[in-house]
Amino acid sequence: MAIKFGRPIEMRDAPRRQAALSAPSLDLVVRPRRNRKSEWARRMVRENVLTTDDLIWPMFVVDGNNTRTPVASMPGVDRLTVDQVVRDAERAAKLDIPCIALFPYTEPSLRDEQGSEALNPDNLVCQSVRAIKKEFPDIGVLCDVALDPFTSHGHDGLIADGRILNDETVAVLVKQALTQAEAGCDIIAPSDMMDGRVGSIREALDDSGFIDVQIMSYAAKYASAFYGPFRDAIGSAKTLTGDKRTYQMDSANSDEALREVELDIAEGADMVMVKPGMPYLDIVRRVKDTFAMPTFVYQVSGEYAMIAGAARNGWIDGDRAMMEALLGFKRAGADGILTYFAAQAAEKIKAQR
Ligand code: PBG
């Protein structure tokens, strides 16, 4: 029997049947709406699900004691002193969030051209890693590798004559990664987009005995306007000279993302990331389909700010927009999401059970 797709009844033996009908009807056999008729039916055919295991929670650390300072452009996000980072790590553990990511706000007096504070084994990130690991050894801690929170010019690398130096920067990034591994960090996440940094970091970690420290590379990271609020949070927005387009990717490109990801995998990345998230869902899908690697996506500060800001103004339902955006990443093929909504989303997921 041929399946009857939406051929209007009027086109067939219309007169007899039409007389029998009080309301106009299409004689459809295939009606996709049947599977959406109630919540239990929708649950049965649901293809993707967001769980707390999918979440990585980025946090901002600042010097001081027992203080939480709101980030104006990220409503609901605070800069935390180390003791408060530990409290939020506890909250993450209770919410079954597997991993947290740390970003420092470095005092301007500690920033210099070389980003030397990145190599200080007692910097805010290293202090936080040790404090978290002491109390909650079973939560994963991810540390960003890049110099921008530490440089006076706000760039991720070293500069000479106005140009970002690649290989010289990689040498410093390797030291930064080792400093963080020594503090007890579980995942090294190079976000700098220098060529060859994953391979150099992997080699140095292995040579120093950190064979189990994972690398999640920001493999396809685009030069994006959506990082604005993050730069406020780490205090590099005002100092950043120029832009990052000689190292971060051009948002027009897609094939190039595959080449970048392929290189990082070949150099030893355990997991790869696409960043930002929502404008780059096509990249997430291509990367996942092409490499079948653990693929992460970063819902960046600007994406967070748009949803949180609109919600604060009553323009959208913030909780629903948050969950829809996060599920969209899963649907696109992401295995996990770095998101400032992590705790809020985890609470919602737990409440739904
Ligand atoms: C630093 C870094 C950035 C982000 C993560 N690591 C900013 C940048 O590259 O300028 C952005 C995160 C966000 O916007 O939430 N290299």
Residue 130 exposed, middle or buried by CB count within 10 Å (0-12, 13-18, 19+): middle
Helices (H), 208-298: 228-233, 255-266, 281-291
Q: Give me the CATH number covering residue 226.
A: 3.20.20.70
Confirm whether 262 is domain-assigned.
yes
Q: Check if the beta carbon of residue 159 is closer than 8 Å to that of residue 165.
A: yes
Strands in 195-325 per DSSP E: 214-221, 271-275, 295-299
pLDDT tens, 1-18? 456 665 554 555 555 555
The token pair at 221 is 């990271």
The token pair at 139 is 């939560």
Name every protein residue with a CB atom under 6 angstroms from any ligand 1 atom: 144, 146, 148, 156, 191-192, 227, 230-231, 244, 300-301
Confirm whether 12 is domain-assigned.
no
Confirm whether 120 is domain-assigned.
yes
pLDDT tens, 255-272? 999 999 999 999 999 999
Predicted local confidence at residue 1, as pLDDT: 47
CA dihedral 191, 194, 195, 198 (to 10 degrees): -40
Predicted local confidence at residue 12, as pLDDT: 55
Q: Is 221 a catalytic residue?
A: yes
Residue nearest to atom 7 of ligand 1 (CA): 227
Q: Return the residue matching tokens 């996506």.
A: 297
Given the residues 37, 94, 134, 221, select the one marked as catalytic.
Answer: 221
pTM for this one? 0.93
* Separation of CA 58 and ligand 1 centre (Å): 11
Q: How many domains does the chain have?
A: 1
Residues ≥6 apart with Cβ < 8 Å to 103: 58, 59, 60, 61, 125, 144, 149, 230, 233, 234
Q: Is 4 a catalytic residue?
A: no
Query: Which of 230, 232, 275, 303 gets mutated to test ligand 1 (max ligand atoms within 8 A of its CB)?
Result: 230
Q: Report the C-alpha gap between 347 and 353 in whole angstroms.
A: 10
> Mapping DSSP to helix (H, G, I), strand (E, B) and coil, where does residue 59 land?
strand
Best CA proximity match to 60, nearest among 234, 297, 239: 234
Predicted local confidence at residue 241, as pLDDT: 85
Query: Which of 144, 164, 191 gets mutated to test ligand 1 (max ligand atoms within 8 A of its CB)?
Result: 191
Return averaged pLDDT per consecutive 10 residues of the chain, 353 residues in all: 54 57 85 97 98 98 98 97 98 98 97 97 98 98 98 96 97 98 98 98 98 98 97 90 95 98 98 98 98 98 98 98 98 98 98 85
Predicted local confidence at residue 138, as pLDDT: 97
Rg (CA), the chain: 24
Confirm whether 8 is domain-assigned.
no
Confirm whether 195 is domain-assigned.
yes
Q: What share of the chain is helix, strand, coil (3-state, %, to 5)?
A: 45, 15, 40
Confirm whether 183 is domain-assigned.
yes
Q: Report the C-alpha gap between 42 and 11 in whole angstroms.
A: 33
Confirm whether 93 is domain-assigned.
yes
- Expressed as residue numbers, the domain containing 238 is 51-351
Confirm whether 273 is domain-assigned.
yes
- Residue 276 preceded by cis peptide, ω within 30: yes
Q: How far is CA 229 from the centre of its chain?
A: 14
Best CA proximity match to 217, nearest among 153, 298, 129: 298
